[in-house]
Chain A
Amino acid sequence: GAVVSQHPSRVICKSGTSVKIECRSLDFQATTMFWYRQFPKKSLMLMATSNEGSKATYEQGVEKDKFLINHASLTLSTLTVTSAHPEDSSFYICSAGVAGGSREQFFGPGTRLTVL
């Protein structure tokens, strides 16, 4: 149980285009989803937190107009990287928290974004 999927697993796009990454909780309802970014050989950095049906809360230094987050249902959150540039190339990972107050987060497999 508690499986989180991400789609796509890997995407290559041209500079200036927008890319949407989906995060789904497959067998549970996730009231809260988190988006992380990870550069090579570095740790995970939290980008934003979103609750279903409300606006995402962004961490300091993360541009909300650049990284659009939508948490439309209890099983789906999307991250859209708008007008992507090569410096946005990174590994994006989502996690989901289970409804009911459990503090455990379940992580997706990650999405590798390469902007040319």
Chain B
Amino acid sequence: GESVGLHLPTLSVQEGDNSIINCAYSNSASDYFIWYKQESGKGPQFIIDIRSNMDKRQGQRVTVLLNKTVKHLSLQIAATQPGDSAVYFCAENTGFSGGYNKLIFGAGTRLAVHP
């Protein structure tokens, strides 16, 4: 089946703490994963991606971990700042299907950073 968003869980953290946002994906054939950040009233903004031949990838203040065994993806944000407050979506991609490169989005998690 496909990941479908049914509700929007919230993660509340203190400024300066590390945040971990989790995502369970549904398709074992998915081989490319992306994390997006979406601020209110705006389109998704690319944060970091990872291919299925990796289990960890680091960016600036962000790290993505991939566990293919349990179909789990996580986004770690170090030293969380108020500007990190947004909704975070994971997206999975199974490669070209019928000639198209479809992304399936997870339910999303709202990150609320408190001073």
Contact = CB atoms under 8 A, between A and B. Distances in A.
17 contacts: A32-B100, A34-B103, A42-B5, A43-B5, A43-B106, A43-B107, A44-B5, A46-B102, A46-B105, A91-B41, A95-B103, A103-B101, A104-B46, A105-B103, A107-B45, A109-B42, A110-B42
Interface residues of B, number: 28
Contact residue range for chain A? 20 to 34
B82 interface: no
Given A91-B41, A104-B46, A104-B49, 13 more contacts: A32-B101, A41-B7, A43-B5, A43-B105, A44-B89, A44-B105, A45-B5, A105-B101, A105-B103, A106-B46, A108-B43, A110-B43, A112-B41
A105 B41 CA distance: 19
Contacts of A43: 4-5, 89, 105-108
Interface in B63-115: 89, 93, 95, 98-108
Contacts, number: 63
Contacts of B108: 42-43
A75 interface: no
A64 B106 CA distance: 24
Interface of B: 4-5, 7-8, 32, 34, 36, 41-46, 49, 89, 93, 95, 98-108
B107 A107 contact: no
A57 interface: yes
Contacts of A93: 43-44
Interface of A: 4, 6, 32, 34, 41-46, 49, 51, 57, 91, 93, 95, 97, 103-110, 112
A44 B100 contact: no
